[in-house]
Amino acid sequence: MSDNTTMFVTTQDGRKLAFAQYGDPDGTPVFLLHGTPGCRLSGRHPDESRVVDAGLWLITYDRPGYGQSARHKGRRVVDCVADVATIADELGIDRFFVKGGSGGGPHALAVGARLPQRVTRVACDVGVAPCEAEDIDWLAGMDPANVKEFNWARAGEDTLRPELEKQAQEALAKVEADPKTLLNEFNLSPSDLAVLEDPRVQQRLRATTRESFANGVSGWVDDDLAFTVPWGFDVSELEVPVEIRYGATDVLVPAGHGEWLAKHVPNAIVTVDDTGGHLSNPDEGLEQLRELVAA
């Protein structure tokens, strides 16, 4: 199955959602929920035959406002649940695994919390914690560039949107010139800098950045706004098995977020990468998916 095939489905409230699938359509279905910013290309492995050999059927989609999906203004994290269910229904998938990375992490937790009869297992990889939680200093350990972005979000869309529009234009220019410079305003750990040297990662960054902003920055705006208000569900609701993974040297989503999730998600299985940061290369991502479905 081609990894660049885009399909569309219409939600109950009339929005268009773009999604993609690759790997083995007879394999184990896994929904991959992209980070912030991101799109349906973000979880793609450059060698689809390896996904087929792993027996995986991977489904990705553009969260509303990204790529080719229509905006859902005012969406909360929990609103992704209906979108994932709509795509699963369209594909005839009854039960599935779900993995979310970074900004996709809370969305994966939401799907697991609200679709326990359909979700077999959840993986939350370097995901953010709820910003309104009383027992976390949400910005502690976060790179100043990210702190600035979330302060714009807290000020509201009128402040946030023009700033993200500038950042998106800068990001597009960076990936055209040299994708490994995409995150050069952040004080990344050696682990993340090493991942950015991978030519496959650079190629994917170029493709995903172009597609993420193909129709503007509304997806990025709405993600940031959704992270700075209550998610619409509580992680204590989770009854399905959940894996939490985070990196000790992550400056984009600091380890404190992973520690909070590990403490508050019921019976979570926790993996801490003592030297890892925020990023992983395609082979690491594929191995994590193998482990998810094997568990």
**How confident is the model over 43-81, as pLDDT tens digits?**
889 999 999 999 999 999 999 999 999 999 999 999 999
Q: Residue 1's pLDDT is what?
A: 31
**Per-residue confidence at 3, pLDDT binned at 50, 70, 90?**
very low
Q: Residue 44's pLDDT is what?
A: 85
Its pTM surpasses 0.85: yes
In the chain, where are the structural domains located? Answer: 6-294
CA geometry: angle 249, 293, 283, nearest 5 deg:
50
Model pLDDT for residues 107-165, shown as the tens digit of each residue: 999 999 999 999 999 999 999 999 999 899 999 999 999 999 999 999 999 999 999 99
Q: Is 57 exposed, middle or buried (0-12, 13-18, 19+ CB in 10 A)?
A: buried
Maximum CA extent, the chain:
47
CA geometry: angle 98, 102, 106, nearest 5 deg:
55
CB burial readout 250-286, b (16+ within 10 A) else e: bbbbbbbbbbbbbebbeebeebebeebbbbbbbeebb
HEC states along the chain? CCCCCEEEEECCCCCEEEEEEEECCCCEEEEEECCCCCCCCCCCCCCHHHHHHCCEEEEEECCCCCCCCCCCCCCCHHHHHHHHHHHHHHHCCCCEEEEEECCHHHHHHHHHHHCCCCEEEEEEECCCCCCCCCCCCCCCCCCHHHHHHHHHHHHCHHHHHHHHHHHHHHHHHHHHHCHHHCCCCCCCCHHHHHHHCCHHHHHHHHHHHHHHCCCCCHHHHHHHHHHCCCCCCCHHHCCCCEEEEEECCCCCCCHHHHHHHHHHCCCCEEEEECCCCCCCCHHHHHHHHHHHHHC
Q: For the residues 24-43, what does the mean pLDDT come to?
A: 96
Q: Residue 295's pLDDT is what?
A: 87
Q: Residue 233's pLDDT is what?
A: 98
Structure tokens, 16: 């268009």
* CATH entry, 6-294, from 1.20.120.1750, 3.40.50.1820, 3.20.20.70, 3.30.1300.10: 3.40.50.1820
pLDDT at 95 over 50: yes
Nearest-angstrom CA–CA distance, 212 and 230? 25
pLDDT at 183 over 50: yes
Q: How many CB atoms lie within 10 A of CB 225?
A: 19
Contact present, 51 and 60 (Cβ < 8 Å): no
Nearest-angstrom CA–CA distance, 247 and 235? 20
Q: Residue 75's pLDDT is what?
A: 98
Within 8 A by CB and 6+ apart from 180, the residues are 196, 197, 201, 202, 205
**Per-residue confidence at 5, pLDDT binned at 50, 70, 90?**
confident
With a pLDDT cut of 70, the percent of the chain lying above it is: 99
Nearest-angstrom CA–CA distance, 30 and 58? 5
Q: For the residues 162-191, what does the mean pLDDT come to?
A: 97
Q: Residue 157's pLDDT is what?
A: 98
Within 8 A by CB and 6+ apart from 206, the residues are 175, 176, 179
- Give me the amino acid identity at 235: V
Model pLDDT for residues 202-236, shown as the tens digit of each residue: 999 999 999 999 999 999 999 999 999 999 999 99
